């Protein structure tokens, strides 16, 4: 390992290269054999992917995040009094296996230790029976103290500790449940927050109001720099600054708590409870993601819902479905599950690799996706009340929150399949396109879930010190929507042109685009270039030439591309990191769309993918290339390592998709 810019030991430093070494099928084939090697790799990858399709038609890879998911699952069970020995043992086994040599836990593979993650992991292992004087625990607690102890942890970590009296509720930001009554025009109303934050904040207002404390099973004095004074007072920021204003607002909320009318507070909590219950999905979860589900269960429990209540039973059962049991007996908790996203990407990969449009696997996947289309309004309709539904969500069940990115990619996937019911397919595609167009923000771009969710105030709250809490438009989502609209023949539609203009204005000086939902500039550029060329921009366009030049400049010596999560924080990591299969796929997809098929960069990238493919037809990829919150929350989608290399290799062998628009399945068929 080499030293990184932040002093940690992990991924290769900028400019360094690495290649997968386990069970490689080929060495670099050289210029003459690149096409043949790619063709063989495509066949192996196609066979691998088809063999992993569920009988119902979908694909789903595991979704790795970090051990806070596992720690908070144990803390929830401890709080509810349902923690059992088998679950605790399995969670402890997984958490121990993720500890770094220096005693800390990271939020992504090869990343630096992270304080809050390490604190939560440590507490979970204490619940699992690990003594504080065991070497791995003593090393962890020393690492925590060196970085400021619990007092320096993020708010969410300290909320978990407050539930057991390990932290004082008075020393946490106030979050009043009366927030539920704020009208939509008022700053800091719940719809000013991104959907993931909104679903978390509403139940946390109840928790904040109730301030529950369960008996702590052990003290945590070893995690304070000074156990006698664990949270020394800090001076307020200047009153004229935003931080100073919101810090004083929080102090005012603490005072309001003491005088809040009891009837109003009780009514606000009951309104919050109704809001929560109305948004529970049919599988029992909330939003298809773990954090809102955890806090919703706690909030409802505090309001008197016992564990046998149907809402609570369904919620707890849904959380169990996030568990992935491994062969060694360890239990990992997924933050989310991604079957719709994985399925549409798998269909695109297989179709672009040359699988016939009427192949049974593709038809079965299309049928499953058609059944997943959402036909009722959700929170998005607060800002678009007249817009008809028609989007797709990311997860198995998340009807309240379809997302724009999935909808665009599902349409692109469906357009590649020759489904026997053409009229049904066309109607579904039409509804999806109309919904996506209706979700365009006023600046011409698209966000992930909402329209114009760009208020500057939520990020200023002392409570919001972790991750993104708003959902502004991004280049990667906008690129996918523009590409979809171009394939649907809407390149010259004024709404599409506005999206293109926004993308061109968002290009970085170095030629790349920022990646909001994937790591990072390689993902953003890999999303935008295919969109711009599909919409009719010539490969000679200056923006495309700048992007091509940037991609060529960051190609690793081994021929692949890679970018570390640290590029979200450090300039010298932009476009740099160990080569990965998914990121190499993104770069190749961009270059191929820009007419660079015969370039040396493409040849070397294709050779790297063919040479690092494993014997079973997939690729090894321990690095995290998915993004939940830039820098703060990272994701390793296990199917990314497969679908994106296959898509890139398929396009290299078969040519760019939709080059012959007359042959589009469905259209004119």
| Residue 24 bridge partners (DSSP) | 614
**Domain end residue (candidates: 309, 333, 357):** 333
Q: How far apart are the first and last CA of the chain?
A: 55
**Domain end residue (candidates: 333, 351, 382):** 333
Torsion of CA 107, 109, 112, 114, to 10 degrees: 20
State the pLDDT at residue 234. Answer: 81
**How would you classify residue 342: left for phi > 0, otherwise alpha for psi between -120 and 50, otherwise beta?**
alpha
426 in any annotated domain: yes
**163 — phi, psi (to 5°)?**
-60, -20
pLDDT digits (tens, 9 = 90+) for 561-613: 999 999 999 999 999 999 999 999 999 999 999 999 999 999 999 999 999 99
Pairing, β 331-333 against β 2-3: unpaired
Co-location of 181 and 39 in the same domain: no
Is residue 379 within 8 Å of 198, Cβ to Cβ? yes
Instruction: Specify the 3-state DSSP secondary structure of 62.
Output: coil
Co-location of 110 and 186 in the same domain: yes
Inform me whether the pLDDT recorded for 243 exceeds 90.
no
423 in any annotated domain: yes
pLDDT digits (tens, 9 = 90+) for 202-224: 999 999 999 999 999 999 999 99
Instruction: Specify the 3-state DSSP secondary structure of 362.
Output: helix
Co-location of 308 and 376 in the same domain: no
465 in any annotated domain: no
- Cα dist. 478→90, 474, 574 in Å? 41, 6, 21
CATH code for the domain in which residue 347 is found: 1.50.10.20
Co-location of 446 and 573 in the same domain: yes
Nearest-angstrom CA–CA distance, 174 and 463? 8
State the pLDDT at residue 281. Answer: 92
pLDDT digits (tens, 9 = 90+) for 530-556: 999 999 999 999 999 999 999 999 999
Q: Where in the sequence numbering do the catalytic residues fall?
A: 405
Mean pLDDT, rounded, of the chain: 92
pLDDT digits (tens, 9 = 90+) for 445-462: 999 999 999 998 998 888
Instruction: Specify the 3-state DSSP secondary structure of 289.
Output: strand
Q: For the residues of 217-242, what is the DSSP string, one character each?
A: SS--GGGSS-TTSSS---PPPPTTSH
Co-location of 329 and 407 in the same domain: no
If you average pLDDT over residues 113-142, what whole number do you get? 98
Inform me whether the pLDDT recorded for 167 exceeds 80.
yes
Please report where in the chains the tokens 């009427």 appear, as a residue.
358
Nearest-angstrom CA–CA distance, 499 and 506? 11
Instruction: Specify the 3-state DSSP secondary structure of 331.
Output: strand
Nearest-CA neighbor of 124 among 84, 78, 86?
Answer: 78
State the pLDDT at residue 30. Answer: 55
If you average pLDDT over residues 129-156, what whole number do you get? 97
| Residue 629 bridge partners (DSSP) | 633
Residue 452 is classified by DSSP as S
User: What is the extent of the structural domain holding 611?
Assistant: 27-61+338-455+472-663
2 in any annotated domain: no
Is residue 499 within 8 Å of 445, Cβ to Cβ? yes
If you average pLDDT over residues 386-403, what whole number do you get? 94
Co-location of 551 and 441 in the same domain: yes
Is residue 444 within 8 Å of 492, Cβ to Cβ? no
Q: Report the range of poorest mean pLDDT among 41-45, 241-245, 620-624.
A: 241-245
Co-location of 309 and 424 in the same domain: no
Is residue 526 within 8 Å of 587, Cβ to Cβ? yes
SS3 annotation, 5-35: CCCCEECCCCCCCCCCCCCECCCCCHHHHHH
- Cα dist. 620→17, 578, 601, 611, 639 in Å? 15, 12, 22, 12, 11
Q: Which two tokens stand for residue 571?
A: 């300039």
State the pLDDT at residue 239. Answer: 84
Co-location of 56 and 104 in the same domain: no
State the pLDDT at residue 667. Answer: 60
Co-location of 193 and 225 in the same domain: yes
State the pLDDT at residue 240. Answer: 84
18 in any annotated domain: no
Q: 660: pLDDT confidence band, cut at 50, 70 and 90?
A: low
Comparing 544 with 244, the larger pLDDT belongs to 544
Q: Which long-range contacts (CB under 8 A, 24 or more apart) does 256-265 make?
A: 256/174, 256/176, 257/174, 257/176, 257/209, 260/176, 260/178, 264/178, 265/176, 265/177, 265/178, 265/209
How many separate domains does the chain show?
2
Q: 662: pLDDT confidence band, cut at 50, 70 and 90?
A: very low
pLDDT digits (tens, 9 = 90+) for 489-542: 999 999 999 999 999 999 999 999 999 999 999 999 999 999 999 999 999 999
Taking each helix axis from N to C end, the angle separating 68-80 and 115-127, rounded to the nearest 10 degrees, works out to 40
Co-location of 44 and 87 in the same domain: no
Co-location of 255 and 363 in the same domain: no
Q: Which two tokens stand for residue 531?
A: 């969109």
Instruction: Give Cβ neighbours of residue 248 (< 8 Å, ≥ 6 apart).
Output: 236, 239
Inform me whether the pLDDT recorded for 109 exceeds 50.
yes
Is residue 290 within 8 Å of 322, Cβ to Cβ? yes
| Residue 636 bridge partners (DSSP) | 64
Taking each helix axis from N to C end, the angle separating 310-320 and 290-302, rounded to the nearest 10 degrees, works out to 150
How would you class 55 by CB atoms within 10 Å of its CB: exposed for 0-12, middle for 13-18, buried for 19 or more?
exposed
Please report where in the chains the tokens 């797709």 appear, as a residue.
392
State the pLDDT at residue 25. Answer: 45
State the pLDDT at residue 661. Answer: 52
pLDDT cut 70: percent of the chain above it: 94
- Cα dist. 554→52, 87, 517, 522 in Å? 33, 44, 20, 9
Inform me whether the pLDDT recorded for 8 exceeds 60.
no
12 in any annotated domain: no
- Within 10 A of 508 (CB to CB), how many other CB atoms are there? 16
If you average pLDDT over residues 655-660, what whole number do you get? 82
State the pLDDT at residue 467. Answer: 81
Is residue 318 within 8 Å of 290, Cβ to Cβ? no
Nearest-angstrom CA–CA distance, 610 and 27? 8
Co-location of 99 and 196 in the same domain: yes
Which H/E stretch holds residue 500? helix 494-506
Inform me whether the pLDDT recorded for 298 exceeds 50.
yes
State the pLDDT at residue 18. Answer: 41
53 in any annotated domain: yes
Half-sphere exposure of 525 (CA within 13 A, CB side): 35
Is residue 416 within 8 Å of 663, Cβ to Cβ? no
**Domain end residue (candidates: 333, 362, 385):** 333
Inform me whether the pLDDT recorded for 444 exceeds 60.
yes
461 in any annotated domain: no
Q: 1: pLDDT confidence band, cut at 50, 70 and 90?
A: very low
Residue 307 is classified by DSSP as T
Is residue 193 within 8 Å of 470, Cβ to Cβ? yes
């Amino acid at each position: 390992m080499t030293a990184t810019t932040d002093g940690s030991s992990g991924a290769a430093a900028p400019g360094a290269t690495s290649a997968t070494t386990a069970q490689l099928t080929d060495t670099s084939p050289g210029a003459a054999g690149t096409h043949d090697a790619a063709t063989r790799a495509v066949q192996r990858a196609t066979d691998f992917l088809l063999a992993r399709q569920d009988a119902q038609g979908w694909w789903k890879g595991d979704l790795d995040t970090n051990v806070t998911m596992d720690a908070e699952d144990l803390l929830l069970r401890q709080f509810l009094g349902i923690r059992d020995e088998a679950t605790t043992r399995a969670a402890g086994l997984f958490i121990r296996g993720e500890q770094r040599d220096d005693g800390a836990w990271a939020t992504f593979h090869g990343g630096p230790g992270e304080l809050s993650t390490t604190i939560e992991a440590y507490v979970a292992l204490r619940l699992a029976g690990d003594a504080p004087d065991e070497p791995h625990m003593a090393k962890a607690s020393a690492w925590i103290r060196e970085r400021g102890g619990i007092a320096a942890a993020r708010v969410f970590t300290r909320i978990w500790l407050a539930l057991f009296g390990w932290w004082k509720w008075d020393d946490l930001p106030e979050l009043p449940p009366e927030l539920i009554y704020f009208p939509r025009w008022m700053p800091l109303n719940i719809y000013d927050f991104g959907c993931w934050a909104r679903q978390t904040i509403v139940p946390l207002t109840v928790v904040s109001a109730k301030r529950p404390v369960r008996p702590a099973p052990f003290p945590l004095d070893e995690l304070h720099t000074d156990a006698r004074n664990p949270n020394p007072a800090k001076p307020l920021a200047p009153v004229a600054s935003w931080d100073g204003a919101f810090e004083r607002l929080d102090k005012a909320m603490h005072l309001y708590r003491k005088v809040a009318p009891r009837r109003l507070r009780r009514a606000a909590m009951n309104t919050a409870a109704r809001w929560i219950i109305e948004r529970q999905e049919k599988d029992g979860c909330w939003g298809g993601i773990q954090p809102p589900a955890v806090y919703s269960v706690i909030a409802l429990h505090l309001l008197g819902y016992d564990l046998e209540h149907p809402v609570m039973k369904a919620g707890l059962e849904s959380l169990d479905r996030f568990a992935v049991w491994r062969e060694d007996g360890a239990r990992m908790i997924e933050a989310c599950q991604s079957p719709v996203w994985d399925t549409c990407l798998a269909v695109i990969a297989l179709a672009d690799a040359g699988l016939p449009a009427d192949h049974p696997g593709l038809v079965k996947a299309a049928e499953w996706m058609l059944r997943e289309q959402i036909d009722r309004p959700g929170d998005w309709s607060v800002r678009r009340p007249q817009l008809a539904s028609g989007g797709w969500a990311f997860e198995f069940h998340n009807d309240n929150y379809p997302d724009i990115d999935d909808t665009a990619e599902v349409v692109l996937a469906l357009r590649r399949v020759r489904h026997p019911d053409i009229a049904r397919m066309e109607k579904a595609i039409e509804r999806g396109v109309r919904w996506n167009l209706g979700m365009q923000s006023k600046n011409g771009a698209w966000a992930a879930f909402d329209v114009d969710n760009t208020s500057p105030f939520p990020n200023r709250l002392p409570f919001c010190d972790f991750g993104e809490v708003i959902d502004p438009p991004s280049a990667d989502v906008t690129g996918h929507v523009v590409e979809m609209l171009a394939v649907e023949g809407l390149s010259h539609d004024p709404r599409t042109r506005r999206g293109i203009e926004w993308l061109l204005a968002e290009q970085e000086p170095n030629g790349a685009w920022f990646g909001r939902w994937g790591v990072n500039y390689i993902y953003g550029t890999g999303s935008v270039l295919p969109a711009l060329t599909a919409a009719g921009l010539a490969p000679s366009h200056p923006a495309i030439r700048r992007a091509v030049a940037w991609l060529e400049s960051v190609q690793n010596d081994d021929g692949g591309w890679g970018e570390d999560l640290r590029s979200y924080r450090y300039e010298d990591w932009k476009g740099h990191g160990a080569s990965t299969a998914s990121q190499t796929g993104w770069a190749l997809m961009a270059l191929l769309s820009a007419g660079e098929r015969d370039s040396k960069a493409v040849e070397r990238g294709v050779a790297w993918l063919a040479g690092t493919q494993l014997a079973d037809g997939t690729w090894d990829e321990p690095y995290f290339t998915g993004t939940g919150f830039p820098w703060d929350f990272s994701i390793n989608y296990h199917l990314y390592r497969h679908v994106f290399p296959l898509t890139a290799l398929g396009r290299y062998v078969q040519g760019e998709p939709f080059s012959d628009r007359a042959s589009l399945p469905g259209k004119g068929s």
